[in-house]
């Protein structure tokens, strides 16, 4: 039987009948567990919002280095604003990735209990008018979509309906805009656009990039090229989800390979879905099996540990 990555419509879960909802839950769970990812259609992110965001992100990354560097958030572990080319590397790989990126995080007011955890966003509005509005709208739409996806996974994992909603409510989710410039002739040996790695978070929602190169490692150990049609999203699993499911849903290994045409560039925008910083990552009862492999850990402590491991 031919293996095929599930292509799911979010509307079948949010507006479908009982049978359609149950099928979505089953296919989402089996797709992420068996392949590492699914392709999502009919979601909450408008195509115009994606197109506008990509154009504005392009405008920002084409600015001179000194203008971009103004938005480097010193001491922020790369969690807001600009991170320059060649800073981040994959865990257990000291060769930097061939990319630079921009982070947008959650905004909270000054007396919010999470204010000590969340830095203020910085915005290049003077150089790129409209950047703030477009990326805020994109963040909110992806945040909304993440709730439905985790609702469905929660049903499959037999946790209370509020389990994931409570965990990610006002969570530390991050929208990352990435620029992979043309590949120079003098790059370090073994350097690639993004070396094989797993994401830190619960799930990642990835919008279609402007060029190919993304590969996901199938659970059978095969690298699969990920090509999406306009308007589709890719959803994959991260380390936090792997930890709380006792590896029932392993984290998805992925990479971005260097292009055949070294002069080509690539933009992409993943949304990393994180719990709030006071959440505890512990084994879900339905996944304990012969015993929990990992002790409970605070989600913020886990995040900081992993950020250090990738050079941030």
At residue 220, the pLDDT reads 81
What percent of the chain has pLDDT above 90?
A: 73
| Cα dihedral 199/201/205/206 (nearest 10) | -30
Q: Give the model confidence (pLDDT) of 223-260 as tens digits.
A: 888 888 888 999 999 999 999 999 999 999 999 998 88
Tokens of 244: 């709380």
- Tokens read off for 162: 């509020």
Give the model's pLDDT for residue 219.
77
Instruction: Give dist(CA 30, CA 8) in Å, integer.
Output: 12
CA–CA distance, 140 with 159 (Å, rounded to integer): 25
| Residues 102, 176 contacting (CB under 8 angstroms) | yes
**Alpha-carbon torsion (208, 209, 212, 214), positive or negative:** negative
Domains of the chain: 7-309 (2.60.120.330)
pLDDT digits (tens, 9 = 90+) for 76-113: 667 899 999 888 777 777 788 899 999 999 999 999 99
Give me the mean pLDDT over the 283-300 stretch. 96
Give the pLDDT confidence of 178-211 residue by residue, as tens digits. Answer: 999 999 888 888 889 988 999 999 999 998 878 8
Dist. CA 29–CA 19, nearest whole Å: 16
Q: Which residue has the tokens 């009919």?
A: 42
């Amino acid at each position: 039987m031919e293996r095929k990555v599930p292509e799911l419509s979010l509307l079948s879960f949010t507006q479908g009948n009982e049978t359609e909802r149950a099928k979505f839950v089953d296919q989402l769970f089996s797709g992420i567990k068996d392949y590492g990812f699914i392709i999502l259609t009919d979601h909450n992110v408008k195509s115009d919002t994606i197109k506008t965001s990509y154009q504005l992100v392009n405008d920002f990354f084409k600015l001179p280095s000194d203008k971009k560097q103004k938005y480097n958030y010193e001491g922020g572990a790369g969690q807001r604003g600009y991170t320059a080319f060649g800073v981040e590397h994959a865990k257990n790989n000291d060769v930097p990735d061939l990319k630079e990126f921009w982070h947008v995080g959650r905004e909270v007011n000054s007396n919010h209990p999470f204010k000590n955890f969340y830095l203020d966003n910085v915005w290049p509005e003077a150089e790129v008018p409209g950047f703030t509005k477009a990326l805020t709208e994109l963040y909110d739409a992806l945040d909304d979509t993440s709730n439905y996806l985790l609702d469905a996974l929660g049903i499959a994992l037999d946790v209370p309906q509020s389990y994931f909603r409570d965990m990610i409510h006002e969570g530390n989710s991050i929208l990352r805009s990435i620029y992979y410039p043309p590949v120079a002739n003098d790059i370090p040996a073994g350097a690639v656009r993004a070396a094989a790695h797993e994401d830190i978070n619960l799930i990642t929602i990835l919008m279609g990039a402007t060029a190919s190169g993304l590969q996901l490692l199938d659970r059978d150990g095969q690298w699969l090229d990920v090509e999406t049609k306009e308007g589709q999203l890719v959803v994959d699993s991260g380390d936090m989800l792997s930890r709380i499911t006792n590896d029932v849903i392993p984290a998805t290994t992925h990479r971005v390979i260097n292009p055949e045409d070294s002069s080509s560039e690539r933009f992409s925008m993943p949304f990393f879905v994180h719990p709030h910083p006071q959440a505890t990552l512990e084994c879900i009862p339905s996944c304990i099996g012969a015993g929990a492999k990992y002790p409970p850990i605070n989600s913020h402590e886990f995040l900081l540990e992993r950020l250090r491991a990738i050079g941030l």
